[in-house]
Amino acid sequence: MQYNIVIVGAGYAGILTAKKLEKKLRKNTEVNIKIIDKNPFHTMLTELHEVAANRVDEDSIKLSLNKVFAGRNVQVILDNIQDIDFENKTVNGLQEKYQYDYLVMAAGSRPTFFGVPGAEEFSYKLWSFNDAVVLRDHIRDCFRKAECETYDEERRKLLTFFVAGAGFTGTEMVGELAEYVPILCQEHEIDPSLVSINVADTLPCVVPTLTAKLSAKIEKRLRKCGVNLYLQSSVVKVGEDYIELSRNGEQLHIDTKTVIWATGTQSADITQKAAETLPSACRCRLQTDKHLRSTADENIFVVGDNILFVPEGEEMPVPQIVENCEQSADVAAHNIIQAITGKGELLEYNPKFHGIMVSVGGRYGSALVGTASHKFSLPSFLAMFAKHFINIIYFVQVLGWNKIISYLKHEFFTIRHNRSFVGGHLSNKTPSFLLVPLRLWLGGVWVFEGVKKVVEGWLLSPKLDGFFSGAQSWYDSILNGAGDAASAATPAVAQAAADAVSAATPGAAGGAAEAVGQVFINFNFLGLFRILFVSGKELAQSSLADFAVKLDVPLMNLFVDKVILPYDGIQLAMQIFIVAAEILIGLALIGGLFTTPSSAFSLVLQFMFVCTTGLYLGNLWMVFAAVAMIFSGRVLGLDYYATPFLKRKWKKLGFVRRLYIYND
């Protein structure tokens, strides 16, 4: 029997439901999964304010549905659903009709205007990708026009911004705007005192779902940023260039070219149509049973914002938040699978929400997190950290590594005007071409080391035994006071030790043979590893080349002693590997080819040296140089040509797209 599962909407809940269904039903050829949306992309609605205030690029909040479902048995359909025939189990779109056996309502929400005259016609919304882009362009355009405007009254209209609603969306938008305005004033040479930023709400506090203490902190932050708060004020009318408020019986008329509407939401149009047939309430949210099925039809599941369900022991319906979307998607997917396969038991929806958070611009945030029964507040830095961490967890589920890299890039590595909770400290501002000389020098040193080992006969006979044991004898001589152990080491062994510790530049180890030495750090961590930092001479006589560091790991020592050193063949194979790696890494860095993997593998080799023979302090620069090279880009190297070509070929592979192991 064929089963058709149709998911209406590709928001947070819809996209996760589709992925969870496909993962469990991938091998079931009798199941067809369709997800239908009017847009070819999924939008990060919680990040719209960042685009509207030009903190991040617009592409950062878009996730291509074709990429999300690449290599998966989910059919992505671009269509605008007009109505649903529940009797004949048909979803009717502008393009065609879609038969279903199981329907998932995940159409999400849209703004509600509460019957305020002019609100829908004259205000800017913030509930879609297009809304954010339009608002961003409008804000910049206001400053462009104000820069050239000669009439003071008109200039003030252009520079007055009003946000209606001080919930999550409104507070985050006005906070982002307050952070953005000084930048625009500087760019357009406008006196900041001419700009007015305002937010209004009928309630006596901002973000009332937070505690009174946290809400007060946010109000304080907004006022500090220059935002005027009109609390306990209701919007009664919006015009083309004004907004009218009612506060304590007083009518306020404020001239403005920008009213941003963020007062609340109602169910999407298609959900409202469905509510004409299915039981609903609270702005057309659909009533469900404890298994998230419509109370009127067990073949219809409801997820995300469309749910109207009061969990056992609760007084209020589940909130319209992202965590509700995630948890309801999991329950609905499980119950659809159970209905199709007949295996297992139906799950009851008993959500456990772990907190809420709000950001006021890119640098300040507030959060209330914890368990369902006990929550605590986080200071601003940790609140912002938690927000980004939660976003990354979501991206892992939806688009994997590819989106995580993109998110980190937009939020931290290319952030504009230091608008991040870590400022601009992680932002990539140094021109990459300045690293080219360092790349060439690091590559040249690796080639030199490899060629030197070839000349020394590393490809012909085993040498690791003397290499490792000589280095260990040198450390032992220092740790044991340099007396008996030092005299026990022959000059040849001591020189081998010096070469071993040097690893990259043996010439730097010149007086190790007669070293008496001094121990500065000898720290043993629970027997798992020991950190050694020593000098081959007394401190007063030491130069940088005399200091050495070693990470002594018993497990690695055991592997070397039992697996590598007893067998000449394995020693020789390891030597050939090291020589080949050093030469290939060096040539790759010199040519600027595969710079990232070459730098990463350079770090692996350095780690091997630190754990076996140690490194002189004078050679640690190679570690730091390799770190600097990892993300140095395609500057003046073959990667400029090779990387785009290889990326195009790589991302076309089926398993690569399915696992999201590529980077746009």
DSSP 604-653: HHHHHHHHHT-EEGGGTHHHHHHHHHTT--SSSSTHHHHHHHHHHHHHTS
How big is the CA angle at 378 (ends 372 and 382), to the nearest 5 degrees? 120
Q: What is the β-pairing status of strands 160-164 and 258-261?
A: parallel
Q: Which residues pair with 521 in a beta bridge?
A: 533
Please name the residue ranges forming H helices in 399-533. 400-408, 436-455, 464-479, 484-488, 491-502
Phi and psi dihedrals of 301, rounded to 5?
A: -110, 145
Task: Answer for the pair 518, 591: CB distance below 8 angstroms, yes or no.
Answer: no
Distance CA 120, CA 238 (A): 9
Task: Answer for the pair 99, 89: CB distance below 8 angstroms, yes or no.
Answer: yes
Q: What is the pLDDT of residue 426?
A: 82
Distance CA 76, CA 63 (A): 13
Q: What is the pLDDT of residue 164?
A: 97
Q: What is the pLDDT of residue 430?
A: 66
Q: What is the pLDDT of residue 289?
A: 96
Q: What is the β-pairing status of strands 97-99 and 90-93?
A: antiparallel
* Ordered structural domains, the chain, with CATH: 3-111+267-341 (3.50.50.100), 119-263 (3.50.50.100), 436-629 (no CATH)
Give which of 68, 129, 72 is closest to 394, Cα–Cα: 68
Distance CA 459, CA 3 (A): 63
pTM: predicted TM-score of the whole model, two decimal places: 0.81
Q: In what helix (H) or strand (E) does residue 221 lie, and over which residues does it extend?
A: helix 212-224
Q: How many CB atoms lie within 10 A of CB 65?
A: 21
DSSP character for 561? I
Joined together, the tokens standing for residue 141 give 């355009």
Distance CA 24, CA 73 (A): 11
- Tokens 């703004």 sit on residue: 111
Q: CB neighbours of 589 closer than 8 A, spacing ≥ 6?
A: 439, 440, 442, 443, 446, 595, 598, 599, 602, 629
Distance CA 103, CA 14 (A): 11
Joined together, the tokens standing for residue 518 give 């001094």
Q: How many CA atoms lie within 13 A of 566 on its CB side?
A: 6
Residues in the chain: 664
Q: How many CA atoms lie within 13 A of 297 on its CB side?
A: 22
DSSP character for 257? S
- Tokens 């958070």 sit on residue: 357
Joined together, the tokens standing for residue 448 give 């030199």
Q: In what helix (H) or strand (E) does residue 63 lie, and over which residues does it extend?
A: strand 62-64
Q: Give the mean pLDDT per block of 10 residues along the chain (664 residues).
A: 95 96 93 97 95 94 94 95 96 96 96 96 96 97 96 95 96 97 96 96 94 95 96 96 94 97 94 96 95 97 96 90 95 96 94 92 94 88 94 91 88 89 81 86 95 94 87 86 42 41 38 62 91 89 88 91 92 95 96 93 93 88 92 82 88 86 78
Q: CB neighbours of 251 closer than 8 A, spacing ≥ 6?
A: 236, 244, 245
Q: CB neighbours of 660 closer than 8 A, spacing ≥ 6?
A: 67, 399, 400, 401, 402, 403
